Structure 1
Amino acid sequence: MFRNRDRSAETPAHETALACLEAGIAATLPERVVADRIALDEETIAVGGATYSLDTFDRLVVLGGGKAAGGLAAALADRLGSRLDDGCVVTTDVESGSVGPIEVREGDHPTPTERNVEATRTILDRAEAATAETLVLALVTGGASALLCAPAAGLALSDLQATTDALLASGASIDEINAVRKHCSAIKGGQLARAAAPAPVVTLAISDVVGDDPAVIGSGPTVPDGSTFGDALAVLDRYDLRETIPDPVVDRLERGVDGELEETPDAGARAVAAAADDWHSLANGRTAIDAARGVARERGYEPLVLSSRFAGEAGEVGRVHASVAAEIVAAGEPVEPPAVVLSGGEVTVTVDGDGTGGPNQEFALAAAIELAESGADAVLASVDTDGIDGPTDAAGAIVDRGTVPRDEVDPARRALAANDVYDDLDDRSALLRTGYTGTNVNDLRVLVVPAAD
């Protein structure tokens, strides 16, 4: 999975970190989760304790988007065979084509492009063509917020592109970003389910969101939206973005606050509320952590899950993890070595410089500096499970106390301050590369503390 793995696996501790990461990613791949979580035969689909009789419907259609949507579509097409009638999904890591009767469109992430818009229009058209005798399987995975892109009336794609870029650079959380996206879209915030009505909609999701809130994953295209135009406008004010966001977006949000525009469907919208009852999570960050924990235990390490819900500034969270390593080495707390400490979630970066990098890379470099200063014998690896950390070709990085020599701490700190960590880590042979993995459950971090010599 990891390119140049032999170079990165320079010690048993490094090799264990990589093996834990690989197991976590593999456990969340679409073909694996479909096999593990969905029971399919010629007559029924069973998932999450619910069973859907295919004989009740004239047509079975698959619609949706996200980084794992192509893999999910392929796994479903393979299992459902001739029972599947039609579909369209938009994803990132495959060329446009088809899997069975499902059309697979290639889109772009994190900034939407015209091909995202074209694919989303096709998805909405097919949703609107559904009838009460159609069962819609909606695939919603990480990355769907950008890939399912349909500008609301009065907005252009360029407005959404500029808004997305500004929000991503602001340090706003994913739920804050999505509150704005939903109110600039014709598909997010329950609007896909509303378009498909009266067809029943069953959502199959792979979560990339801390807490697995269905309204946040992919901006909740099939569930009620609890956010409002007022909430979206408050995000712009919170991060001082009114002068940065395009005027048509600000104007739309202000008109919505004034009651001139219809809100996204809330829990009172019957069709969308019904779709929320048939929403199923197939995998999430905890799925990856549990698989990594199994590998650690098999290798004789005591595993400890620190948290699957880390958020906040990447550099700060990296320093916290390095401090945990130092405490384990010095005092055997919170776990005795040899130990593997696991965590997940989604860290963010507030961009002040103009360099290149990503959240997992900033996490790793900040941790490497702390490990250099404490001298703690530990290995720390952090990746985005989709294989793409920020706008780079790296999934993340793996570091230890020797990654940043003590006399190079100041240049490393300057790279962090400039948000320019990619080249610094690459020069230190610390970057991890996988290419697109085909899944996305956010960050996975592995801290390995070997037994004392």
Structure 2
Amino acid sequence: MTLPNNSLFASPRDILHKLMTAALKAADPAVQIPHHMPARPKGKTIVIGAGKASAHMARSFEECWIKENGSRDIANRLCGLVVTRYGHAAPCKHIEIVEASHPVPDEAGQKAAGRILEMAQNAGPDDLIICMISGGGSALLALPAPGISLEDKQAISKALLKSGATISEMNCVRKHLSAIKGGRLALAGARAKMITYLVSDVPGDDPAIIASGPTVPDPTTQNDALAILKRYDIPLPEAAKKLLADPEHETVKPGQECFNDNDVVMLSRPQDSLLAAASTAQDMGLNTVILGDAIEGESREIAIMHAGIARQVKTHDQPAQKPCILLSGGETTVTVRGDGGRGGRNAEFMLSLLLQLRDEAGFAALAIDTDGIDGSEDNAGAIMDEKSWQKARDREIDLADYLDRNDAYSAFEKLDDLIVTGPTLTNVNDFRAILIF
């Protein structure tokens, strides 16, 4: 089976890059914000928020707000503070942008979170609070609960990141050790109307999980958080144990009055990116199968499952005929088994997939984190085709050894197969595409 005759695409890698570009474009929250602009309030419009896309969202909102309301006396009518990851800033004229650490919180994030909470508390009934929330906000909006130190939060965050816990499990713990997450930001700003703009980076697009839900009610409990910590054998300092045993420090629950005048707007979702990529593939004459936008599990094991489906297409033309693109999203995890390895969940997925498919003909694949940063490295992800296996043999790269050491970044760096996009200023989680022809 050959690829469709299309002069625009010289190779399977070209096709995969085109699909990636379509997926990232669909995830851009700036495209949707102009369609969701609120009416100007009597008082101030206060823009706050956190996440890898939050600065980009704030800039788009500011530009639309000025276009609709004019620039006269704007300093008295539009203000705010948004915290984003280092390197993900988008400069604004009237909204302050602060950069902080992700995925492990730092003092810059703690200070910004404290100021954001204070802005919400000071907002009055004539004011409008616009909250820009995207993935990464859990680490960036780092305001520990009373008695919990930043060092405590950092240690727990590091342990969770290495444990293999899902994003929903990690954020359950985070919000119960926070003074601002789990609905507490909404409680602080209860005198004003609040609108939350969301970019989803979580399976299922649950607002209570995205950035640990600072402006929405939290259905989870302290006992849930304790069970997760026990499940992954994560030690707790005494202050954290005391906090999680005190019902006075429970998160804000559904039905509380502070949510009565709050609206939530979902700007971008993983499914939007998958649909855009599928449409692009179909325009190129490729059959498409979307396996799911909420896939979770160990990266290396999810890769084995994807390899099995890819072979079924190759051998039996099921669940679709060749040439075919398999698309999927969600957020896989990596349980760190050794020290010194480099690489995020998408590079690990790709390395495991390469070890499964080896040098079989008719396959090419790509996997990225849509924020442009896979884990804590400088790559978005990695790419492979049927020549990658032979290239590894020629260069004497023991791919299985690299996988054992969670060192997928180094393996693909040696293969010259890292994908480097830089910060994309959005974040709808993983994007995976496997081409079978």
- Per the normalisation by structure 2, the TM-score is 0.92
- Inter-partner Cα distance in structure 1 for 2:209 and 2:425: 20
User: For each residue in 1:364-407, what CA deviation from the matched residue of structure 2 results, as whole angstroms up to 9, or x when unmatched?
Assistant: 0110111116x141111000000101121111111123312398
Comparing 67-76 with 337-346, greater Cα deviation is found at 337-346
- Inter-partner Cα distance in structure 2 for 1:220 and 1:26: 25
Of 258, 266, 270, the residue aligned with 1:285 is 270
- 1:298 Cα deviation (Å)? 1.5
**1:104-115 map, 5 Å:** 104-115=97-108
Give 1:48's aligned residue: none
* Contact kept? 1:98, 1:104, Cα under 8 Å: yes
- Inter-partner Cα distance in structure 2 for 1:221 and 1:95: 21
**1:94-133 map, 5 Å:** 94=87, 99-133=92-126
Residue identity matched to 2:301? E
**1:50-449 map, 5 Å:** 53-55=39-41, 57-81=42-66, 82=71, 84-94=77-87, 99-242=92-235, 245-253=236-244, 255-256=245-246, 259=247, 261-272=248-259, 274-275=261-262, 278-354=263-339, 355-372=341-358, 375-405=360-390, 408=393, 411-449=398-436
* Contact kept? 1:207, 1:217, Cα under 8 Å: yes
User: For each residue in 1:66-104, what CA deviation from the matched residue of structure 2 results, as whole angstroms up to 9, or x when unmatched?
Assistant: 000000000010010146521110012558785132111
- Inter-partner Cα distance in structure 1 for 2:258 and 2:64: 28
- Inter-partner Cα distance in structure 2 for 1:412 and 1:267: 48
Secondary structure of the corresponding residue to residue 316 of structure 1:
helix
* Contact kept? 1:162, 1:246, Cα under 8 Å: no
* Contact kept? 1:384, 1:442, Cα under 8 Å: yes
* Contact kept? 2:299, 2:348, Cα under 8 Å: yes
User: For each residue in 1:40-86, what CA deviation from the matched residue of structure 2 results, as whole angstroms up to 9, or x when unmatched?
Assistant: 4xxxx2xxxxxxx325x322111111000000000010010146521
* Contact kept? 2:350, 2:382, Cα under 8 Å: yes
* Contact kept? 1:70, 1:94, Cα under 8 Å: no
Paired positions, count: 419
- 1:411 Cα deviation (Å)? 2.2
Secondary structure of the corresponding residue to residue 376 of structure 2:
coil
Secondary structure of the corresponding residue to residue 404 of structure 1:
helix
CA distance 1:185–1:341, shift in 2 (3 Å): same
- 1:26 Cα deviation (Å)? 1.5
Secondary structure of the corresponding residue to residue 312 of structure 1:
coil
| Structure 1: stretches of 5+ with no match in the other structure | 1-8, 46-52
- 1:136 Cα deviation (Å)? 0.6
Give 2:28's aligned residue: 29
* Contact kept? 2:13, 2:364, Cα under 8 Å: yes
* Contact kept? 1:365, 1:412, Cα under 8 Å: yes
Residue identity matched to 1:251? K
* Contact kept? 2:55, 2:90, Cα under 8 Å: no
User: For each residue in 1:225-248, what CA deviation from the matched residue of structure 2 results, as whole angstroms up to 9, or x when unmatched?
Assistant: 111111111111111113xx4343
Secondary structure of the corresponding residue to residue 259 of structure 2:
helix
- Inter-partner Cα distance in structure 1 for 2:349 and 2:222: 33
- 1:274 Cα deviation (Å)? 4.2
Secondary structure of the corresponding residue to residue 371 of structure 2:
coil
CA distance 1:447–1:407, shift in 2 (3 Å): closer
- 1:17 Cα deviation (Å)? 0.5
Q: Please tell me the root mean square deviation across aligned C-alpha atoms, in Å.
A: 2.0
- Per the normalisation by structure 1, the TM-score is 0.88
- 1:107 Cα deviation (Å)? 1.2
* Contact kept? 2:392, 2:399, Cα under 8 Å: no
Comparing 77-86 with 110-119, greater Cα deviation is found at 77-86
CA distance 1:379–1:97, shift in 2 (3 Å): closer
* Contact kept? 1:361, 1:421, Cα under 8 Å: yes
Give 1:4's aligned residue: none
- Runs (4+) of structure 1 moved beyond 6 Å? none
Secondary structure of the corresponding residue to residue 123 of structure 2:
coil
* Contact kept? 1:361, 1:422, Cα under 8 Å: yes
Secondary structure of the corresponding residue to residue 218 of structure 1:
helix
| Structure 2: stretches of 5+ with no match in the other structure | 1-7
* Contact kept? 2:350, 2:366, Cα under 8 Å: yes
Give 1:5's aligned residue: none
- Inter-partner Cα distance in structure 1 for 2:238 and 2:11: 55
* Contact kept? 2:51, 2:135, Cα under 8 Å: yes
* Contact kept? 2:391, 2:415, Cα under 8 Å: no
Residue identity matched to 2:374? D
- Inter-partner Cα distance in structure 1 for 2:391 and 2:26: 38
The reply on whether 1:16 has 2:8 as its aligned counterpart is no
